[in-house]
Structure 1
């Protein structure tokens, strides 16, 4: 899997744990939503916790855990399933300030929207990486100077720019 940040492929510093794998004493680890409560109870001070959550997750199910998490990875099972974008916005509105990762079947054409919804990184499968190289992801990131959402990618939104122009 390739990890994209700021339009570039980067190394992943987080490690996804298998369901039966014990929680390590140190490092950055990602656990499943089913293991999250237990991982929070037993994790030591040297462990940074992340969770991988389906795009159908109720944000309220993560609310208590958000201050303890360094990463939330939202699964996109198909490029046409946009529920993960909504979940990302809701988590950012709830105050989550850690890394927000889109994981799964996203395409470069969706990258600017993912950033606008609050995602920091995108993890894509090898078959998509083979078809869409770093240049395409960077071009997609730079395709729009402004977004409809406020505050995540560019300062101000398209609506803010229109209001400013009308006032002048």
Structure 2
């Protein structure tokens, strides 16, 4: 897997563990699936923990674990499934300030949107990273400066900008 932040390639500090036993045996920060999270956190309170969730997961299922998580990895089944972007916004609206990772076969053209939705990093399978190297991701990040959706990114949306301009023109 290749991990990309807005600054470039990064080292992954988290070890993926699919079972409670594997998580307890791992050293250092651990990334566990949502169904394992409660049991792991009960046995290792205060441990640096990441939680892996499918993009179709309800925010209600994730909410109880956000305060204890250092990382939430939203799993994308394919680049054409955008539910993970919506989930990222909901996680950020819940006040989660930790690392938010998009994980799966995304494409570089989605990097700017991922960052605007609140993701801080993208984890790619090697097959995807080989087709679109880190430099391509960093270049793609700069291709969008405004968004159609309200509430994405730090600047007003295109609609908000147009409404503001229209109000100024009628005065």
Structure 1 counterpart of 2:37: 36
RMSD, aligned α-carbons: 2.0
Query: Would you tell me which structure has more helix in proportion to its own residues?
Result: 2
Structure 2 counterpart of 1:130: 130
The CA deviation string for residues 47-67 of structure 1, in whole angstroms up to 9 with x for no partner, is 211111111211101111111
- Higher mean alpha-carbon deviation, 150-159 vs 130-139, is at 150-159
- Higher mean alpha-carbon deviation, 117-126 vs 21-30, is at 21-30
- Higher mean alpha-carbon deviation, 140-149 vs 154-163, is at 154-163
Q: Is the 8 A contact 1:26 1:48 kept in 2?
A: no
Give the unaligned 5+ runs of structure 2. Answer: none
Structure 2 counterpart of 1:21: 22
The CA deviation string for residues 61-118 of structure 1, in whole angstroms up to 9 with x for no partner, is 1111111111110111111111111111111122221111110010001111111211
SS at match of 2:50: strand
Q: Is the 8 A contact 2:30 2:49 kept in 1?
A: yes
Q: Is the 8 A contact 1:26 1:44 kept in 2?
A: no
Q: Which of the two has higher C-alpha Rg? A: 2
Q: Does 1:61 align with 2:61?
A: yes
Distance in 2, matches of 1:81 and 1:67, equals: 27
Give the unaligned 5+ runs of structure 1. Answer: none
Q: Is the 8 A contact 2:105 2:124 kept in 1?
A: yes
1:87-166 pair list within 5 angstroms? 87-149=87-149, 153-166=153-166
SS at match of 1:70: strand
Distance in 2, matches of 1:40 and 1:121, equals: 23
Structure 1 counterpart of 2:8: 8
> TM-score, normalized by length of structure 1?
0.89
SS at match of 1:79: coil
> TM-score, normalized by length of structure 2?
0.87
- Structure 1 residue 14 displacement after superposition: 1.6
